Structure 1
């Protein structure tokens, strides 16, 4: 993970400018509400035609919980493969999910925000040395 730190820092700076932010009518999201909104199966697709990613991507979120320290933890898999490096951030009424997947030397960074309680929308960056952005949308299909 240390060798990806400079890339992650660049990605974090880039996503700060391009992320979609959606606020609904709720002021604070608690653990039960986060579970209700996130746990389930999500079907996704890439809107960039040159992305070398499977067009019908399945994201499964199994567990969402708030730790004693006040941080959030999440257990998820993408196309049946467990994702170890996932970060969930919930600020007031904004839910943001970030994770990294890799296939051999190809890295794919995901930065998603919950939109309208049934969609995770955002951007991915993929590549080996230079990273190409694409837009991604996941729609919740089951609980």
Structure 2
């Protein structure tokens, strides 16, 4: 997916992509587990499989990333921390899957574990749970825009 450097970063930081996750996507080093997790969320949103592989611990990285029709809509970081060479991030990511006319919505919540590997943070694993959403036309949009679902992502 092509994006402009001035576009908002998908991780929801409020910064431009060029000032947030893009430097990590281009070889920079994450300063914390949360920074790495945000850059991974953005990479999932942008389809940057090579970066995802690079940011995964080599002992845990899947062989195939797999094609996905998942559209990541919103990231909420609920907590994070680090102690020595280990760290964690608890997050919630809202997504939509399938063709727009029949999209299924859901929320992935995970407490992810990160470790330092060769002087950089990498993703190790997580405890995911997925909850399906059924937004009504007059409900707030799950993407977090503050607008009604029927006027936003429906």
Give the structure-2-normalised TM-score. Answer: 0.31
Normalising by structure 1, we get a TM-score of 0.32
Identify, as 1 or 2, the structure richer in strand. Answer: 1
User: Which has the greater radius of gyration?
Assistant: 2
- Bigger relative contact order, structure 1 or 2 (CA pairs below 8 A, ≥6 apart): 1
